[in-house]
Amino acid sequence: MGLTNKQQFVIACMVNGDPSFIPEDESEEEKEFRESLISEADRREKNTGIRPIFEIPIDPWDDDKDEIS
């Protein structure tokens, strides 16, 4: 199915704030995305000495199906 833009934004914010935090109810897709961001941040930090901050812009047209009536 793929993660929505909003889900990616929230996960990126969590990784930026506390990379060691693991949500209790995360799906397999969310886990894979979170772990890929963490590994990318670790790789960049090792290469440059600076941990990156991930910025995922929110697409205003990315509405959840529940919000559309």
Tens digits of residue pLDDT in 20-64: 999 999 999 999 999 999 999 999 999 999 999 999 888 776 665
Q: How many other CB atoms are found less than 10 A from the CB of residue 37? A: 20
Spatial distance between the Cα atoms of 35 and 43, rounded to a whole number of angstroms:
12
Cα 6 from Cα 58, distance rounded (Å): 6
What's the predicted TM-score (pTM) here? 0.81
Residues 3-29 have a mean pLDDT of: 94
More confident of the two residues 39 and 68: 39
